[in-house]
Amino acid sequence: MDKKQREERRRQEDIALQRGLLWVAGAIVLEALLVLVNRYYINYRTVEAEVNIALALSSTLRFLRIAAPIASLLALAWAGWSLKQKKKFGLPLILAFALAAIAICAHVVFKFQGPGISMLFWLVVAWAVLALVYYIYQREFFLAASACGMSVLSLWFVRYGAVGRLEAILLLIAIALVTGGVVWLKKTDGLWPGTDPIRFLAQKTNYTVPVVTCAASLAAVIAAMVLGSTAAFYLIFVMVAWLFALFVYFTVKLM
């Protein structure tokens, strides 16, 4: 690798790091908003001013849990159209993810109240870490970590029985989609098909770890749905340990 190639690689790495840090900054802003919601919606004092704030926040959450998912889908359709037209699609895609995050937060806070917002404090941190994984680590790690992370979140919902069943099923479907994407990429040698195929994974990528992780994530959620909330509680620790093992494995591989 000559000097010019090293400089170009360093430039690409700097850009990736900057983009990852932007997601971290967004996560910090979202954490700050959650702190305010926790104070003035979950733990408000019974004085007129704070009661009015809590009622306003309740109305806002009701609106966002419906409007944000719709806006996210529209932004995703915009990104798809831009990709088809061979235009830049980064902005609408980022907007779709941001709106999806807002929709998830609004729904969880409104439906699960205190326990929900406590979980979201950890979930937002996980989102920021996942963004850094996408930009800094190997893409196969991102796919495996996404499936494993969603399994942990789905198991959290399973613990609430019928109350969280819909959310758990939706996450199970999402894990299945990631699994299907990994299998598809394996067949196409890392290329995402289309009129202008996009290389998502490097050639000769080892798909064993992502495939096994996706299968384990699906199995853990299905087992918890069958066995109940107690099994879900212990399986959360199993999948968190699995996620930590992924971090260690891919960090060593990166060296």
Q: Express each pLDDT in 120-139 by its tens digit.
A: 999 999 988 888 888 888 88
Whether residue 117 contacts residue 42, with contact meaning beta carbons closer than 8 Å, is answered with: yes
Q: Which residues of the chain have pLDDT under 50?
A: none
The pTM (predicted TM-score) of the whole model is: 0.86
Q: What is the pLDDT of residue 131?
A: 87
pLDDT at 190: 82
CB 54 within 8 A of CB 44: yes
Cα–Cα distances in angstroms (integers) from residue 231 to residues 39, 41, 194, 223, in the given order: 33, 32, 42, 8
Residue 38 DSSP symbol: I
pLDDT tens digits, 26-58:
899 999 999 999 999 999 888 888 999 999 999
Distance, in Å, from the CA atom of 81 to the CA atom of 8, rounded to the nearest integer, reads: 30
Residue (of 122, 86, 77) closest to 236 by Cα position: 122
Please report the pLDDT score of residue 145 as a whole number. 94
Q: According to the model, what pLDDT value does residue 2 have? A: 63
3-class secondary structure for 2-26? CHHHHHHHHHHHHHHHHHHHHHHHH
Give how far Cα 190 sits from Cα of 123, 178, 195, 206, Å. 29, 14, 15, 10
Q: What angle do the packed helices 90-136 and 3-37 form, to 10 degrees?
A: 110
Q: What is the pLDDT of residue 170?
A: 94
Q: Do the beta carbons of residue 235 and residue 155 sit within 8 Å? A: yes
| CA torsion angle 204 175 225 163 (round to 10) | 160
Q: Check residue 243 and give its pLDDT.
A: 94
